[in-house]
Amino acid sequence: MISRWNDSDAEKFAGDPLKMRVYTSQLIGQEEDLVLHGGGNTSVKGDVKDLFGETVEVLFVKGSGWDLASIEAEGFAPVRLDVLKKMAELESLSDSDMVKGQRAAMTDSSAPNPSVEAILHAIIPSKFVDHTHADAVVTVTNTLDGENHIRKIYGDNILIVPYVKAGFILAKKVYELTKDIDWNSLEGIVLLNHGIFTFDDDARKSYEKMIELVTKAENYLEEHGAHKSIAVEERMLPEFPHLDVARLRKAVSYAAETAMITRVLRGKEERGFANLPNVSEIAARGPLTPDHVFRAKHIPMIMTGNTENDVNKFAERYREYFDRNADGALTCLDPAPRWAVWRGQGIAVMGKNLTDVNIVTGIAKHTIRAIQWGEAIGGWKALEDSEIFEIEYWELEQAKLKKGGAPPPFQGKIALITGAASGIGKACAETLSAQGAVVAGLDINPEIENNIENGLALGIACDVTDQKAVRKAVERTIEEFGGLDILVSNAGTFPSSMTIEEQDAGAWNKSIDLNLNSHRSLLQECIPYLKYGIDPAVVIIGSKNVPAPGPGASAYSVAKAGLTQLARVAALELGQFGIRVNIVHPNMVFDTGIWTQEVLETRAKHYGVTVEEYKTSNLLKTEVTSKNVAELVVSMAGPAFAKTTGAQIPIDGGNERVV
C-alpha cells in the first residue's frame, strides 16, 4: 500500500491539529482497502475554550454518519477527554448509556454523535489515533490460525486484542490490557476479526504507521500465494439475463416488503468467484468485518436457478438465524438478501436505494477477494453467527429503527420517462426522484447523457421512433437498476397549425410516428418488465385535444386520440398482471418544448386574444405548469390511484368544451 501523503498539501494545515486530522482522515478514507463507506474512525486530542473561557482538553473524534473520504472539521465531535477516561474505569455500562454519556460530555451540542469507539481513542495516550478495517489485516485474522499469522507478521510490537463487540466492552478490554503497558513499545493494535489501530503524536507518523503495518499484511498474503488465488473467469461474457434479473428483483422486494434496486456485477473476478466449485460453502461462512452486516446481511444468498425458491429459502433461513440467536424483545429485520452468488453470471447486489446498492457493491467486491485470500493461507473463518447477530441486533441499531421515520414514498421504485430533458418529462423526473424513485430518462437530445441531474439517475440519448433504440434503452435501464415499475410515456411534438385541406403528408406522418407509434413501441418493450414490477403503473401523457380537438391540429389531435385508445386497450390487457394504465390530458402547458413563441402567437391569433389571455383561457383563469402535470402523474403512479386503471384525467384549469 502506497502512502498518499503530500508535503505541499500537508503544509497548508501545519499548526492546526484539527485541519491536519481532517487531511489524514481523508487520505485514509480514499483508500478502499482500508475503509469502506463510513467504516473506520479517527481522532485528535486538543484544547477548546468553554463557556467560561476556560481551557478544556477534548477528543475530536469522527462523528456518526460521516465518511472519512469526505469528512470535514464539523464531522468531528469534541468530547471532554477526562469524562471519556473516567467512563473507561466503570465496571459496566450499556452502550445506550455510553452514547448518552458521550453526548452529554460534548462541548458543542450541534456536533454529530461521537463514534462508539470514542472511549478507546481516549485511553490511547497519543495525540492522533487512526482506526481502519484494512482488508489485508482483517483477512489474516479471519482464518483458522489468524492470531498466529498476525504474530508472525508483526512480532511483539503489536497488541493483539481477541474479538469483542465494539463500544464500551471493547474499550474496557483494551483499558484492562494496557493498564501497565509502555505505549512507546507498541506500533499499533490489532483487533481480531475487526481491524487495526495506529497512533502517534505526529499526524503523518500515525498515518504512515497504518500504511506500513497494512503493507506488511499485504506482503504476507502475497508471499503465501494469496493474490494468485483470485479466480478470474476469462470466457466470453454471457448474454445479460434481463428478465431473470427482473424476476430476482421482484422476489427480493417481496421478501423485504419494499421495492429494492438490483444490480448484477459481471466482471471477471465476480464471475470467477461465482464459478468456484465450493463457492456455496465458503461464501456462507460470514462477513469480512462485523460492521458489514448492517448493509449486507450475515451471508449472501446462493442462487440455484429457481429464483423465487432461492429467495424464499434465504428468508426462511434468516428467520431461523434470528430465532436461534434472539434474546429479548428484538424486532426482526427484513429477511431479504442483500447480495447473491449467481453461478455463470457473477454477483447480484440489492438495496433500498442507489446508495445502499453502491455500498453493498463495495462490500461484496472486497469480501469475495478476502475469502479467497483467507482460503489460501489456511482457510477462511469469520466470526460465529451468534457474534455477528450481536452486532446486527445491537441495541444502538435497534434504537435507530424505532426512531427512523417513514422512507420516501417511491423509495426503491424504478421509473422510465421519455422526453425527459425538458418540460413535463423533466418535471416528472424531478418529482419522482424527490420522492425516492430512481429515474431513467430518454430523450433525443444527446446532452441528456452528459448532464445527469434534474432527477435523473440515468440519461439515455434515444430516438423513440426507433424501436431497436428503445429496446436497448429499456434493457440498459434493467441492467442498471434491475427492473421497471413506472413508465411515463411522454415524448411528443406539436406540429404547426394546418388545416386538413392543406395538411402536409410529412408533418402528418411525423406526428403519427412520434405521438402515437413510438408510444406503442415503448409500451411493447416495457411490458415484459412491468409484469415483474412492484405495483407497476403506466401513465400516458395525452392531450385536451382528445375530448376537444381544435381546428388546424388534425395531425396532433388524431395521434393523441389514437394514443388514448391505445392506453385504454392496454388497461384492458394488462390489468390481469396488476399493471395500471392511466392517461392525463394536459392543456396549454406553456413551459414545454412544443410551445414555442411562434406556436403561442399563432394559437392566440387564431382565437383572437393576446398571448397572456390565451395562457389563462380556462375556467379557473390559471396557468398550468409542467410541475402541476408532474404532481398529477406521480400521484397516478402512487398508492392514491392503486385501484384505478383506464382513467382519463384532465389537467387544464377547466375547459368549457371538455366540461
Q: Which residues are catalytic?
A: 556
Ramachandran region, residue 654 (left: φ > 0; alpha: ψ -120 to 50; beta: rest):
left
Q: Are 448 and 466 in contact (CB under 8 A)?
A: no
How far, in Å, are 273, 326, 328, 350, 388 from residue 331 at the CA level? 34, 9, 9, 21, 16
Residue 174, classed as helix, strand or coil, is: helix
Residue 180, classed as helix, strand or coil, is: coil
Task: Please give the DSSP secondary-structure letter assigned to residue 514.
Answer: I
Identify the helix (H) or strand (E) that includes residue 118.
helix 118-123
Work out the number of other CB atoms within 10 angstroms of the CB of residue 306.
11
Residues in the chain, total: 659
Q: Collect all residues with Cβ–Cβ distance below 8 Å to 532 and sequence separation of at least 6.
A: 243, 246, 247, 249, 250, 483
Query: What's the burial of 162, exposed, middle or buried (CB within 10 Å: 0-12/13-18/19+)?
Result: exposed
Using alpha carbons only, give the angle 204, 208, 214 rounded to the nearest 5 degrees: 155
Going 326 to 332 to 338 to 339, the CA torsion angle's sign is positive
Tell me the three cell numbers of residue 373: 485470500
β-bridge partners, 651 = 586
How many angstroms separate the CA atoms of 135 and 215, rounded?
Answer: 11
How many angstroms separate the CA atoms of 153 and 190, rounded?
Answer: 11
- Tell me phi and psi for residue 131, to 5 degrees: -130, 125
Angle of helix 81-89 versus helix 95-104 axis, rounded to 10: 160
Q: Are 492 and 422 in contact (CB under 8 A)?
A: no
State the pairing for strand pair 188-191/158-161.
parallel
How many angstroms separate the CA atoms of 560 and 594, rounded?
Answer: 14
